Amino acid sequence: MTSTDHPFGRTTTTLDELHGCVDVTDAKRVLNSIGVAKPDKAVEGFLDQMPTLLAWLDEHGRDYPWRRASDPWQIYASEILLQRTRSDAVADIYPEFFAQFPSARCLLEADEEDLRSIVHPLGFVNHRVRTLREAAELCAEVQDEVPADLEALQQPWRVGPYTARACLLFAFDQPMALVDTNTARIVGRVFDYPLPEQPHKSTRVQRLLDALAPDNPALARAFNLALLDLGALVCTSENPNCPACPLAEGCEYAQTGDV
Ligand code: SF4
Protein backbone atom coordinates (compact mmCIF):
# COMPACT_ATOMS: atom_id res chain seq x y z
CA MET A 1 0.00 0.00 0.00
CA THR A 2 1.36 3.41 -0.91
CA SER A 3 0.31 6.90 0.06
CA THR A 4 -1.64 7.07 -3.22
CA ASP A 5 -4.84 6.26 -1.36
CA HIS A 6 -5.29 9.97 -1.81
CA PRO A 7 -3.73 11.41 -5.00
CA PHE A 8 -2.06 14.16 -2.99
CA GLY A 9 -0.94 12.06 -0.04
CA ARG A 10 -1.84 13.62 3.32
CA THR A 11 -2.83 17.26 3.26
CA THR A 12 -3.42 17.83 6.96
CA THR A 13 -0.75 18.17 9.59
CA THR A 14 0.22 20.18 12.65
CA LEU A 15 3.19 22.31 13.52
CA ASP A 16 4.12 19.82 16.25
CA GLU A 17 4.17 16.95 13.76
CA LEU A 18 6.23 18.97 11.29
CA HIS A 19 8.79 19.79 13.94
CA GLY A 20 9.22 16.04 14.44
CA CYS A 21 9.74 15.20 10.75
CA VAL A 22 11.40 18.23 9.14
CA ASP A 23 15.15 18.70 9.44
CA VAL A 24 14.93 22.28 10.64
CA THR A 25 18.56 22.31 11.76
CA ASP A 26 19.95 21.39 8.37
CA ALA A 27 17.63 23.79 6.54
CA LYS A 28 18.92 26.62 8.74
CA ARG A 29 22.48 25.48 8.19
CA VAL A 30 22.10 25.65 4.40
CA LEU A 31 20.53 29.10 4.52
CA ASN A 32 23.22 30.29 6.90
CA SER A 33 25.96 28.97 4.61
CA ILE A 34 24.79 31.15 1.72
CA GLY A 35 24.30 34.24 3.85
CA VAL A 36 20.49 34.38 3.99
CA ALA A 37 19.47 36.87 6.69
CA LYS A 38 17.90 35.44 9.85
CA PRO A 39 17.77 31.77 8.77
CA ASP A 40 16.08 30.73 12.03
CA LYS A 41 13.16 33.06 11.46
CA ALA A 42 12.98 32.16 7.77
CA VAL A 43 12.74 28.40 8.36
CA GLU A 44 10.27 28.73 11.24
CA GLY A 45 8.15 31.06 9.11
CA PHE A 46 8.12 28.52 6.27
CA LEU A 47 7.17 25.75 8.68
CA ASP A 48 4.33 27.87 10.06
CA GLN A 49 2.90 28.14 6.55
CA MET A 50 3.30 24.48 5.61
CA PRO A 51 -0.13 23.34 6.96
CA THR A 52 -1.71 26.13 4.91
CA LEU A 53 0.32 25.05 1.86
CA LEU A 54 -0.96 21.47 2.17
CA ALA A 55 -4.55 22.67 2.65
CA TRP A 56 -4.12 24.77 -0.51
CA LEU A 57 -3.05 21.63 -2.38
CA ASP A 58 -6.17 19.83 -1.21
CA GLU A 59 -8.33 22.55 -2.73
CA HIS A 60 -6.36 23.58 -5.82
CA GLY A 61 -4.04 20.66 -6.65
CA ARG A 62 -4.16 19.17 -10.14
CA ASP A 63 -5.64 15.69 -10.24
CA TYR A 64 -3.69 13.93 -13.00
CA PRO A 65 -4.07 10.18 -13.63
CA TRP A 66 -0.42 9.38 -12.75
CA ARG A 67 -1.03 10.92 -9.34
CA ARG A 68 -3.58 8.16 -8.72
CA ALA A 69 -1.30 5.41 -10.01
CA SER A 70 0.38 2.98 -7.63
CA ASP A 71 2.03 0.70 -10.19
CA PRO A 72 5.77 1.57 -10.30
CA TRP A 73 6.00 1.04 -14.08
CA GLN A 74 3.15 3.49 -14.68
CA ILE A 75 4.79 6.03 -12.41
CA TYR A 76 8.29 5.63 -13.86
CA ALA A 77 7.07 5.73 -17.49
CA SER A 78 4.81 8.73 -16.71
CA GLU A 79 7.76 10.67 -15.31
CA ILE A 80 9.66 9.98 -18.54
CA LEU A 81 6.68 11.16 -20.59
CA LEU A 82 6.55 14.33 -18.45
CA GLN A 83 10.16 15.31 -19.19
CA ARG A 84 10.17 18.73 -20.88
CA THR A 85 6.45 18.34 -21.61
CA ARG A 86 3.21 19.98 -20.48
CA SER A 87 1.29 17.83 -18.03
CA ASP A 88 -1.97 18.32 -19.94
CA ALA A 89 -0.39 16.89 -23.10
CA VAL A 90 0.71 13.79 -21.18
CA ALA A 91 -2.79 13.46 -19.67
CA ASP A 92 -4.21 13.35 -23.22
CA ILE A 93 -2.18 10.29 -24.26
CA TYR A 94 -2.05 8.60 -20.84
CA PRO A 95 -5.05 6.23 -21.27
CA GLU A 96 -3.92 4.97 -24.68
CA PHE A 97 -0.28 4.66 -23.65
CA PHE A 98 -1.00 2.42 -20.66
CA ALA A 99 -3.71 0.48 -22.48
CA GLN A 100 -1.02 -0.44 -25.04
CA PHE A 101 1.93 -0.76 -22.67
CA PRO A 102 0.60 -1.83 -19.25
CA SER A 103 4.00 -3.28 -18.35
CA ALA A 104 7.64 -2.85 -19.31
CA ARG A 105 7.53 -6.23 -21.04
CA CYS A 106 4.55 -5.13 -23.18
CA LEU A 107 6.45 -2.04 -24.30
CA LEU A 108 9.52 -4.08 -25.22
CA GLU A 109 7.48 -6.57 -27.22
CA ALA A 110 5.46 -3.89 -29.03
CA ASP A 111 6.13 -2.63 -32.52
CA GLU A 112 8.31 0.49 -32.18
CA GLU A 113 6.12 2.28 -34.72
CA ASP A 114 3.13 1.93 -32.35
CA LEU A 115 5.17 3.52 -29.58
CA ARG A 116 6.31 6.32 -31.85
CA SER A 117 2.79 7.05 -32.96
CA ILE A 118 1.40 7.23 -29.39
CA VAL A 119 4.13 9.56 -28.06
CA HIS A 120 4.21 11.66 -31.24
CA PRO A 121 1.94 14.45 -29.87
CA LEU A 122 4.48 15.07 -27.06
CA GLY A 123 7.40 15.82 -29.37
CA PHE A 124 11.05 14.73 -28.85
CA VAL A 125 9.93 11.40 -30.29
CA ASN A 126 13.39 9.85 -30.87
CA HIS A 127 14.57 10.88 -27.44
CA ARG A 128 11.43 9.59 -25.75
CA VAL A 129 11.29 6.28 -27.58
CA ARG A 130 14.92 5.55 -26.77
CA THR A 131 14.50 6.45 -23.11
CA LEU A 132 11.28 4.46 -22.71
CA ARG A 133 12.78 1.39 -24.36
CA GLU A 134 15.90 1.56 -22.18
CA ALA A 135 13.72 2.02 -19.09
CA ALA A 136 11.65 -1.00 -20.11
CA GLU A 137 14.83 -3.04 -20.68
CA LEU A 138 16.05 -2.07 -17.23
CA CYS A 139 12.80 -3.26 -15.66
CA ALA A 140 12.67 -6.43 -17.76
CA GLU A 141 16.11 -7.40 -16.43
CA VAL A 142 14.54 -7.86 -13.01
CA GLN A 143 11.36 -9.71 -13.96
CA ASP A 144 9.38 -6.68 -15.04
CA GLU A 145 10.03 -4.80 -11.84
CA VAL A 146 11.07 -1.18 -11.54
CA PRO A 147 14.21 -1.03 -9.37
CA ALA A 148 13.78 1.00 -6.19
CA ASP A 149 17.27 2.41 -6.49
CA LEU A 150 18.31 5.98 -7.24
CA GLU A 151 21.34 5.04 -9.35
CA ALA A 152 19.68 2.20 -11.27
CA LEU A 153 16.69 4.37 -12.19
CA GLN A 154 19.06 6.82 -13.88
CA GLN A 155 20.64 4.22 -16.17
CA PRO A 156 18.36 4.84 -19.18
CA TRP A 157 19.43 7.56 -21.56
CA ARG A 158 18.49 11.07 -20.39
CA VAL A 159 16.98 9.96 -17.09
CA GLY A 160 18.32 12.22 -14.38
CA PRO A 161 17.92 12.64 -10.63
CA TYR A 162 14.53 14.37 -10.85
CA THR A 163 12.83 11.47 -12.66
CA ALA A 164 14.55 8.88 -10.46
CA ARG A 165 13.60 10.72 -7.27
CA ALA A 166 10.00 11.20 -8.44
CA CYS A 167 9.79 7.46 -9.00
CA LEU A 168 11.16 6.67 -5.54
CA LEU A 169 8.83 9.18 -3.91
CA PHE A 170 5.62 8.36 -5.76
CA ALA A 171 6.08 4.63 -6.43
CA PHE A 172 8.05 3.49 -3.40
CA ASP A 173 6.99 5.97 -0.73
CA GLN A 174 10.53 7.13 -0.04
CA PRO A 175 10.32 10.65 1.42
CA MET A 176 12.55 13.09 -0.44
CA ALA A 177 12.37 16.40 -2.29
CA LEU A 178 12.02 17.05 -6.01
CA VAL A 179 14.01 19.97 -7.37
CA ASP A 180 13.09 21.49 -10.69
CA THR A 181 13.14 25.09 -11.86
CA ASN A 182 9.68 25.69 -10.35
CA THR A 183 10.38 24.37 -6.86
CA ALA A 184 13.78 26.09 -6.86
CA ARG A 185 12.15 29.39 -7.83
CA ILE A 186 9.76 29.13 -4.88
CA VAL A 187 12.50 28.59 -2.31
CA GLY A 188 14.52 31.34 -4.00
CA ARG A 189 11.69 33.80 -3.45
CA VAL A 190 10.53 32.58 -0.06
CA PHE A 191 14.01 32.74 1.50
CA ASP A 192 15.51 35.44 -0.73
CA TYR A 193 17.98 32.72 -1.66
CA PRO A 194 20.39 33.80 -4.41
CA LEU A 195 19.87 30.88 -6.79
CA PRO A 196 22.74 29.62 -8.95
CA GLU A 197 22.51 29.56 -12.76
CA GLN A 198 21.04 26.05 -12.91
CA PRO A 199 19.30 25.73 -9.57
CA HIS A 200 17.79 22.32 -10.38
CA LYS A 201 21.35 20.96 -10.57
CA SER A 202 22.53 22.59 -7.33
CA THR A 203 23.38 20.17 -4.52
CA ARG A 204 22.81 22.97 -2.01
CA VAL A 205 19.26 23.69 -3.27
CA GLN A 206 18.62 19.95 -3.23
CA ARG A 207 19.91 19.71 0.34
CA LEU A 208 17.70 22.62 1.44
CA LEU A 209 14.57 21.11 -0.07
CA ASP A 210 15.44 17.65 1.27
CA ALA A 211 15.74 19.18 4.73
CA LEU A 212 12.35 20.88 4.38
CA ALA A 213 10.53 17.83 2.97
CA PRO A 214 8.77 15.96 5.79
CA ASP A 215 10.33 12.59 6.60
CA ASN A 216 6.94 10.93 6.21
CA PRO A 217 5.82 9.36 2.89
CA ALA A 218 2.29 10.79 2.70
CA LEU A 219 3.36 14.25 3.86
CA ALA A 220 6.42 14.28 1.59
CA ARG A 221 4.17 13.42 -1.33
CA ALA A 222 1.83 16.31 -0.47
CA PHE A 223 4.73 18.70 0.14
CA ASN A 224 6.25 18.04 -3.29
CA LEU A 225 2.96 18.13 -5.17
CA ALA A 226 2.05 21.38 -3.42
CA LEU A 227 5.30 23.03 -4.52
CA LEU A 228 5.01 21.68 -8.07
CA ASP A 229 1.44 22.97 -8.41
CA LEU A 230 2.19 26.24 -6.67
CA GLY A 231 5.05 26.84 -9.14
CA ALA A 232 2.74 26.07 -12.07
CA LEU A 233 -0.35 27.96 -10.90
CA VAL A 234 0.64 30.75 -8.49
CA CYS A 235 4.37 31.35 -8.11
CA THR A 236 4.94 31.54 -11.85
CA SER A 237 8.20 32.83 -13.26
CA GLU A 238 6.81 36.10 -14.62
CA ASN A 239 3.85 37.15 -12.49
CA PRO A 240 3.68 35.50 -9.08
CA ASN A 241 0.20 35.88 -7.63
CA CYS A 242 1.31 36.54 -4.04
CA PRO A 243 -2.10 37.70 -2.73
CA ALA A 244 -3.44 34.21 -3.57
CA CYS A 245 -0.42 32.31 -2.24
CA PRO A 246 -0.52 30.12 0.89
CA LEU A 247 3.15 30.90 1.57
CA ALA A 248 2.81 34.69 1.42
CA GLU A 249 3.04 35.31 5.17
CA GLY A 250 6.42 33.64 5.42
CA CYS A 251 7.73 34.71 2.01
CA GLU A 252 10.50 37.27 1.78
CA TYR A 253 9.57 38.25 -1.79
CA ALA A 254 5.93 38.87 -0.84
CA GLN A 255 6.92 40.84 2.23
CA THR A 256 9.48 43.05 0.51
CA GLY A 257 8.88 42.71 -3.24
CA ASP A 258 6.84 44.87 -5.54
CA VAL A 259 3.66 42.74 -5.59
S1 SF4 B 1 4.22 34.70 -1.87
FE2 SF4 B 1 4.57 35.19 -4.02
S3 SF4 B 1 6.77 34.99 -4.36
FE4 SF4 B 1 6.27 33.99 -2.40
S5 SF4 B 1 6.01 31.85 -2.93
FE6 SF4 B 1 4.00 32.81 -3.00
S7 SF4 B 1 3.67 33.50 -5.12
FE8 SF4 B 1 5.86 33.02 -4.84
- The neighbour count for residue 188, using CB atoms within 10 Å, is 19
> Catalytic: 79?
yes
Are residues 155 and 188 both part of a single domain?
no
Q: What pLDDT, in 10s, does the model give residues 122-175? A: 999 999 999 999 999 999 987 779 999 999 999 999 999 999 999 999 999 999
Are residues 111 and 168 both part of a single domain?
yes
Are residues 59 and 84 both part of a single domain?
no
- Kindly report the CATH number assigned to the domain that includes residue 186: 1.10.1670.10
Are residues 17 and 88 both part of a single domain?
no
Does the beta carbon of 233 sit less than 6 angstroms from any atom of ligand 1? no
Closest ligand 1 atom, CA of 186? 5
Q: Domain range holding 24?
A: 3-63+175-256
| Residue 205 host element (H or E) | helix 203-212
Closest CA to 188 of 11, 12, 31: 31
Last-in-domain residue among 126, 148, 172 = 172
Are residues 132 and 195 both part of a single domain?
no
Catalytic residue among 79, 210, 229, 252: 79
Are residues 101 and 130 both part of a single domain?
yes
Residues 6 or more apart in contact with residue 59 via CB below 8 angstroms = none
| Residue 49 host element (H or E) | helix 39-60
Alpha-carbon span 236 to 92, nearest angstrom: 23
DSSP 129: H
> Which pLDDT value is given to residue 232?
95
Contact in structure between 200 and 188 (CB atoms under 8 Å): no
Total length of the chain? 259
Ligand 1 centroid to Cα of residue 243, in Å, is: 8
Are residues 197 and 249 both part of a single domain?
yes
Does the beta carbon of 187 sit less than 6 angstroms from any atom of ligand 1? no
The tens-digit pLDDT sequence of the chain (259 residues) is: 455 578 999 999 999 999 999 999 999 999 999 999 899 999 999 999 999 999 999 999 999 999 999 999 999 999 999 999 999 999 999 999 999 999 999 999 999 999 999 999 999 999 999 999 999 999 998 777 999 999 999 999 999 999 999 999 999 999 999 999 999 999 999 999 989 889 888 999 999 999 999 999 999 999 999 999 999 999 999 999 999 999 999 999 999 875 5
Contact in structure between 217 and 2 (CB atoms under 8 Å): yes
Are residues 49 and 86 both part of a single domain?
no
> Which pLDDT value is given to residue 3?
54
Does the beta carbon of 226 sit less than 6 angstroms from any atom of ligand 1? no
Are residues 153 and 228 both part of a single domain?
no
Residues 6 or more apart in contact with residue 112 via CB below 8 angstroms = 129, 133
Are residues 213 and 168 both part of a single domain?
no
Mutate to test the pocket of ligand 1, among 48, 237, 247 (most ligand atoms within 8 A of CB): 247
Q: Per the structure, how many domains does the chain have?
A: 2
Contact in structure between 247 and 186 (CB atoms under 8 Å): yes
Closest CA to 147 of 167, 166, 129, 130: 167
Closest ligand 1 atom, CA of 190? 4
